[in-house]
Amino acid sequence: MGNIIVIIFGAIFINNFVLSRFLGLCPYFGVSKKVETSIGMGMAVTFVMTMASLVTWLLEWFVLVPNNLQYLRTIVFILVIAALVQFVEIVMRKVAPALYEALGIFLPLITTNCAVLGVAILNIQIGYNLFEALVFAVAAAAGFTLALVILAGIRERLELAFISRHFRGVALSLIIAGILSIAFMGFQGMM
């Protein structure tokens, strides 16, 4: 049980995929303009990360390793992630068309979100069992969502503030992300 708590806390705060590992920055900056959109993207990433971790872990230990095909790991994992994103896109179009329209071009970005591939590969490299891999995936997605929502909240508040034209847009987002990254480094001393 203690190991699970360490995995959860570590993935959300200490080794946050966006703020510590710098994975998944494209959707982080692209979707973080509104909190509602960020939450929707976070839910989609959570589903894809969890399912990708499940499928890739099973493929690794029941197909790739027994057949000595570990060198195909990255290609197989990318194909699994792409298929899952297509599935999420189809379901979201039918179930939540408003959210689908709000995410727009950013939904296909999950396919190229290196945080999803990073979780799948780290599960194998660290040597997690299936349960630990799923916990790690959900916690990493929660950390991704947390970072996304924090940045979106800050960006929404900054729309009401006077900001020099030199710092508007991506420049200010990068500065905020850097400050958030430094703030999250404070959690490293806790474990």
pLDDT digits (tens, 9 = 90+) for 58-73: 999 999 999 999 999 9
Contact 17, 146 (CB under 8 A): no
In 3D, which of 58, 35, 74 has the Cα closest to residue 137? 58
pLDDT digits (tens, 9 = 90+) for 122-174: 999 999 999 999 999 999 999 999 999 999 999 888 888 888 888 887 888 88
Q: For residues 14-34, give the mean pLDDT.
A: 85
For residue 156, the tally of other CB atoms under 10 A from its CB is 15
Other CB atoms within a 10 A radius of the CB of residue 165 amount to 7
- For residues 179 and 53, what is the distance between their CA atoms, to the nearest angstrom? 30
The reported pTM is: 0.88
Helices 73-95, 35-59: axis angle to 10 degrees equals 140
More confident residue, 47 or 131: 131
Residue 10 structure tokens: 């570590």
